[in-house]
Amino acid sequence: MASKQKTSRKAAAAAIRRPRARAANDGAYAGDTGDDIGLDALVGHAGYAVRRFQLWIFQDFIKTLATVDIRPTQYSVMTVIGANPGLSQMAVAKRLGIERARLVHLLDSLEERDFVSRIPSATDRRSHALHLTTRGKTALAQFKRLAAEHERHVAEKIGKENRERLLQILACFT
């Protein structure tokens, strides 16, 4: 359809496009399968590689933990609370590098599912002491088993040694 199917604001822009004056190899690549396309400067950019990897790894995490319906961020929150009971929301947010505004909704959903409880702090009436419920503790144990399975997928994908090398390189960010 190209410019024909534009209906509203695109119609004007489409009219401007010169239908002539095409350069070099037009249509030559049009039927490409997606492979054998050069990335030029993109190869050699850490950000691009990391983005693609992060996409893959999150999709695998979500898929592996789909049965328990837990997303990576939720898992990280429960893990930190489980390892450090009584933390305030501010402390958790700072530690995980997420905003406290975002943590509010995360905890809302986790509290609705009875995994986490906000207990009024004894020393500071502004803050909550975060704890895992008994249900949350047993649930987290299962999450960790599934997460370990996901981690094995990663090792299969990039290699066992490469995975550990990666963790070592990026340790300064955790």
Partner DNA sequence: GAAAGATTGTTGTTGACGACAACAATTGAT
Partner DNA sequence: ATCAATTGTTGTCGTCAACAACAATCTTTC
Q: CA 129 to CA 118: how far, in whole Å?
A: 6
Angle, to 10 degrees, between the axis of helix 100-112 and the axis of helix 72-83?
A: 90
Residues 6+ apart with CB under 8 A from 86: 129, 130, 131
Site for DNA in 64-93 (CB under 7 A): 71-74, 88-90, 93
Give 115: exposed, middle or buried? Use CB within 10 Å, 0-12, 13-18, 19+.
Answer: buried
Task: Choose among DNA, a second copy, none what residue 59 binds, the Cβ cut-off being 5 to 8 Å by kind.
Answer: DNA
Q: Site map for a second copy, 54-93, x if CB under 8 A?
A: xxxxx--x----------x---x--xx-xxxxxxx--x--
Number of residues that bind DNA (CB under 7 A): 37
Among 7, 8, 15, 34, binds a second copy (CB under 8 A): 34
- Coil, strand or helix at 72: helix
3-state SS class at 132: strand
Query: Which span sits near DNA by CB under 7 A: 20-28, 122-130, 133-141, 151-159?
Result: 122-130
Q: Which residues bind DNA (CB under 7 A)?
A: 1-2, 4-10, 31, 51, 55, 59, 71-74, 88-90, 93, 97-102, 104, 106-108, 118, 124-128
